[in-house]
Homo-oligomer: A and B are copies of this chain.
Amino acid sequence: MSQLQINEVAPRDGLQIEARFVPTADKIRWIDDLSATGLARIEATSFTSPKAIPNLADAAEVVVGIQRRSGVEITVLVPNLKGCERALACGVDEINLVMSASDSHGLANLRMTPEQSLAQFETIVAKAQGSGVFVNASLSTAFGCPFEGDVPQERVLALVERLLGLGIQGVTLCDTTGMADPAQVGELCRAVTARWPQTPFTLHFHNTRGMGLANALAAWQAGITRFDAALGGLGGCPYAPGATGNVCTEDLVHMFERMGVATGVDLDALLAVSAKLPDLVGHATPGQVVKAGKADRRYPMPQRG
């Protein structure tokens, strides 16, 4: 196993806020291209209501249509029991539940308080039990809420404990709107890895204020080896206008590989997929390595007149 496991979330977290629908066949081809780069995990879609997220209305076709490769887990977001049933019927490796750590973000994003989310998770976990499907939960606003502000670390730890108590197997701590700083990240990551050393924690950063890679570095220094990231830095948050997106997968892979930390990802192949992304989504993307080239890129000496 590589030292890091990267979960590519652009097909879900990226596409869900795009202005236009990406045709199902293009999505499938794109996810297949991503699968071939050696990513550990791909969050392929969300089994949500087509009314809520029209861009992902083709969830079942996408999951059934993509090639399955050994070593690449397919995970999907499920917002409720019906979504769980639909996802299980398609044969996924993992389901990812989502709740907020703060009341107001939960109400704004999911129309549920954290307590209501936890109650619903109980029924979803019961449904998934025995299926062999890994159950992960993403905890939004774990580093701060764009409506309420600070989210105390004790609150996050208490929610993680509740999640694990429900039988959830992995937890993703999400910096949903890019509020986290490296000191805060280090502190929370050390706290969770010390208290639950056997639990797979994933960190989900946004690059809203330029700190995405610095936060990933701080998390890794604190023992975290699993990261969400989005190709090209796609994504964002509808409640935080002006914000740039998720931490960029190829920039994250590039940094860690330069540091000598193996990600298992073929960076050149990933960059080739990223180079085609502006055509897929119809706009430029914020990722930087795809524009500047890898750090080992050599330039010709300038000619003097």
Which A residues form the contact surface with B (CB < 8 A)?
104, 107-108, 144, 146-149, 178-184, 207-214, 216-218, 238-240, 242-244, 248, 251, 254-255, 258-260, 287-289, 291-302
Q: A183 is contacted by which of B214, B260, B289, B302 (Cβ under 8 Å)?
A: B260
Once A213-B210, A218-B217 are accepted as A-B contacts, the answer to whether A302 and B108 lie under 8 Å apart by CB is yes
List of B residues within 8 angstroms of A180 by Cβ: 295
CA A208 to CA B214, docked complex, whole Å: 14
Chain A interface secondary structure, helix, strand, loop or mixed?
loop
**How many copies of this kind of chain does the complex include?**
2
| Chain B residue, CB-CB nearest to A213 | B214
Determine whether the beta carbon of A183 is less than 8 Å from that of B258: yes
Q: Which of A146, A217, A248, A291 has the most CB of B within 10 A?
A: A217
CA A264 to CA B294, docked complex, whole Å: 35
Shortest Cβ gap from A157 to chain B (Å): 20
Q: Which of A146, A288, A293 has the most CB of B within 10 A?
A: A288
Q: A295 is contacted by which of B144, B212, B217 (Cβ under 8 Å)?
A: B144
Could you list some 7 contacts between A and B, CB below 8 A? A146-B298, A146-B299, A181-B259, A210-B212, A210-B213, A210-B254, A244-B291
Determine whether the beta carbon of A255 is less than 8 Å from that of B295: no
Shortest Cβ gap from A3 to chain B (Å): 13
Once A183-B259, A183-B260, A289-B209 are accepted as A-B contacts, the answer to whether A299 and B240 lie under 8 Å apart by CB is yes
Q: Which of A147, A179, A298, A299 has the most CB of B within 10 A?
A: A299
List of B residues within 8 angstroms of A287 by Cβ: 210
| Chain B residue, CB-CB nearest to A240 | B299
Shortest Cβ gap from A40 to chain B (Å): 21
CA A301 to CA B298, docked complex, whole Å: 49
Determine whether the beta carbon of B147 is less than 8 Å from that of A292: no
Determine whether the beta carbon of B295 is less than 8 Å from that of A182: no
Once A147-B298, A298-B147 are accepted as A-B contacts, the answer to whether A291 and B242 lie under 8 Å apart by CB is yes
Shortest Cβ gap from A252 to chain B (Å): 9
Q: A178 is contacted by which of B184, B214, B292 (Cβ under 8 Å)?
A: B292
Determine whether the beta carbon of B260 is less than 8 Å from that of A292: no
Lowest 4 CB-CB distances: which A-B pairs, in order? A181-B258, A183-B259, A210-B251, A213-B214
Shortest Cβ gap from A113 to chain B (Å): 13
Q: A179 is contacted by which of B107, B179, B216, B295 (Cβ under 8 Å)?
A: B295
Determine whether the beta carbon of B213 is less than 8 Å from that of A244: no
Determine whether the beta carbon of B104 is less than 8 Å from that of A301: yes
CA A149 to CA B255, docked complex, whole Å: 17
Q: A255 is contacted by which of B182, B238, B291 (Cβ under 8 Å)?
A: B182
Determine whether the beta carbon of B292 is less than 8 Å from that of A259: no
| Chain B residue, CB-CB nearest to A185 | B259
Determine whether the beta carbon of B239 is less than 8 Å from that of A181: no
Q: A147 is contacted by which of B147, B148, B239, B299 (Cβ under 8 Å)?
A: B299
